[in-house]
Amino acid sequence: MTGRLLCGLAAVAALAAGCSAGMAAPAGPAIVTSPAAQGAYQGLPLDPPQPRPTFTLTDTSGQRYDFAARTRGKPTFLFFGFTHCPDICPTTMADVAAALRGVPDQVRRSVQVVFVTTDPARDTGKVIAAWLRNFDDGLPNGFVGLTGTVAQVEGAQAAARVPVATDGGQTHSAQLLLYGPDDYARVSYLAGSSPDDIRRDLPRVVKGS
């Protein structure tokens, strides 16, 4: 787990978690030298906690979406990626969906998932909506997909304190942020987290402890 954590940090530091380019993170053999960090969460703890960001983008039906206003007080996953992405993005969305399917219904119903494209040139609302439906099928809350101008999606990334994507959005942070009902994120997940990590943390985050 420590190795995984370091890999993930490296990925973020290098902005390297992009689906097409982010394989640089685990440099060399995966050597695990110490047991898992005994943190409160399975995911990567955020210390200090990060406040829920404020940004307004456009949802897949073309309507304005004020992220802070629409998700305030709700446990919310936030991820930046793009649909023309073979590895990290679909894996992350599938992991979130799998985690949600594994928690009690009451928890599942309270959680919102928001995906923001880093590739607005290609990811129209229609493209994002079709892509997200592959993951949220059967879940009570459909995943929200957002797009905007390049400046808007870059602003959203900055507001969420993730490294701003480059290369037309294809090299982007792999950080999956999880905000609690108090509008702070205390844990996030990086490439290499498992659905189980998320599933185990989720009830606690939802409870706001």
Partner 1 sequence: MTVHTSPPARARRETQRVHPGFVAAAVAVLLGVGGLVVGARQAAGTAPPARVEASVPADGVTVGDITVSGAWVRQPASPTVAAAYLSIRNAGSQADSLQSVYSGAARETVLHGQPGVVQPGAHVASGPLAVPAGAVVTLSPARGHVMLEGLTGPLRPGDRVSLLLQFARAGQVLVEAPVIAIGAAAPTGAGP
The Cα-based distances of 146 to 31, 34, 154 in angstroms read: 38, 39, 12
**Smallest separation, CB 27 to partner 1 (Å):** 5
Residue closer to partner 1, measured from CB, 27 or 151: 27
Q: Which is nearer to partner 1, 52 or 123 (CB)?
A: 123
Q: 162 Cβ partners below 8 Å, 6+ apart?
A: 12, 80, 172, 173, 175, 177
Reference 184, options 45, 9, 23, 1; nearest CA is: 45
53 versus 132: smaller Cβ distance to partner 1: 132
The smaller minimum CB distance to partner 1, of residues 57 and 190, is found at 190
Residue 6: how many CA atoms within 13 Å on its side-chain side? 13
Q: Exposure of 116 by Cβ count < 10 A (0-12 exposed, 13-18 middle, 19+ buried)? A: buried
**Cβ 184 to partner 1, closest distance in Å?**
26
In the complex, the smallest distance separating the C-beta of residue 19 from partner 1, rounded to whole angstroms, is 8
31, 3 Cβ separation under 8 angstroms: yes
Residues that bind partner 1 in the complex, under the rule CB under 8 A: 7, 11, 14-18, 20-30, 83-88, 90-91, 93-94, 97-98, 101, 131, 134-135, 137-138, 166-168, 170-171, 174, 191-192, 195
- CA 125 to CA 122: how far, in whole Å? 10
Q: Which phi and psi (to 5°) does residue 204 adopt?
A: -70, -45
Q: Between residues 22 and 43, which has the closer beta carbon with respect to partner 1?
A: 22
- CB of residue 204 to partner 1, shortest distance in Å: 22
Least distance to partner 1, CB of residue 179, Å: 23
